[in-house]
Structure 1
Amino acid sequence: MAEDYAAKMSRKTDAELRDYVDNRYQYREEAVLAALDELARRGTPEPRAAALAEELRISQQDTNRREAAARELVVEQEQTRRIARGQVDPELAEATGPALYSPGTITIFSVLFSMLAGGLLLVLNLRTLRRTGPALLVVAFMIAYMVGGGYLLFWLKQLYGDQYNWLGSFFNLPAVLLYNLFFWPRYIGPQPYRSRSWLGPLLVCGLIMLAFYYFALRFKGAMPVM
């Protein structure tokens, strides 16, 4: 039940009400707003009451959003624990879980298109779960993998020639294994989820591939014949 701040402030002295206003960052916004209203009711309003009230209402909205997100996270964690203990029907839990791209979808996109495509789907999953830190970690891994892996393939080709070109076919494999065996278990875990549709990402990746091949052919056709 929400606390009745108006009744609470009516029992405070003027000095205590001023303390709420002067040290407002130490108290909940609702309490400070109630203190401002009580001071106005007593005929000793705060000179900056209107500006302070607007500032506090904006801050209150941010606080409410953070608290709502924290409550949702607690509910999800508790549901995950209940599923692990067998206290909830897995089919019912799956129907109410967050919509995520499955490990299978991430694997297929990594193989068909690139480890970047699969990694971006994993990042979208983490954003859905409001796990910004792990999402940034996956992005950093993708950048490091592309730079390091590309340099390794270039070095092998410079050293041994075209006989190691076949390694390019397995370029995405280590990344896929890390997505499924490290990032997913560590940052998503066994929580129930609803499978998210892959049609949208498939359309985007298909259009990107078509554009890539189109410009590659245009560039090749524009090159002078030696």
Structure 2
Amino acid sequence: MEDQYTEPEEQPEDIQDEDEQEGAVELYSKWPIRLFSLFFSPIFGGILLMINLRKVGYKQAGTRVLLFSIAYTFATAILLGGMGITGGIIPIVFNLMGGVILSDYYYKKYFPDDDYYPRPVWGALAVALLVYFSIFMAMYYSGTLPPEIIKVLNKK
């Protein structure tokens, strides 16, 4: 009798990749969180991190991160406003510090490994720009923009 040996069939590569990818999810990485905090405010970076945390099941941690980012933004605004600092490099430095806290403390605390796929930020960027444009238009039509900006906008 002839021994019939058949090699086990290999799984196609795309099926193997799916099995390996089951543990990984798409998350916003550290850099978008830092950059949204820097260019918009730590609230936007906190929202991105909250989305990540909720996506993996840390709902309470997501809420805490969002509350931290809101409190940090308002505390910074009150502190700098009380000191009469409304522009320049100092508010940018405070925004960057908020982003670093979000990405280097909170992000590393809940995502110590790099077992995720980076999520595209285009949708979040569109929402952030829409929010800022809406705030700008509300300030423009209510007359609360600084006079220097109104002069520039009225020049044609």
Q: How does 1:1-226 map to 2 (within 5 A)?
A: 93=20, 97-157=24-84, 166-220=89-143
Q: Aligned partners of 2:72 and 2:47: how far apart in 1?
A: 14
Identity %: 25
Structure 1 residue 175: Cα displacement: 0.8
Change (3 A) 1:107 1:164: closer
RMSD: 2.5
Amino acid at match of 1:129: V
Where does structure 2 lack aligned partners over 5 or more consecutive residues? 1-18, 146-156
Change (3 A) 1:221 1:108: closer
Change (3 A) 1:103 1:95: farther
Q: Aligned partners of 1:107 and 1:199: how far apart in 2?
A: 15
Change (3 A) 1:213 1:134: same
Structure 1 residue 133: Cα displacement: 2.2
Change (3 A) 1:204 1:164: closer
Contact 1:99 1:196 in 2 (8 A): yes
If the length of structure 2 is used for normalisation, what is the TM-score? 0.71
If the length of structure 1 is used for normalisation, what is the TM-score? 0.50
Q: Which has the higher contact order (CA 8 A, sep 6+)?
A: 2
Q: Aligned partners of 1:192 and 1:116: how far apart in 2?
A: 25
Structure 1 residue 129: Cα displacement: 0.7
Q: Which has the higher helix share?
A: 1
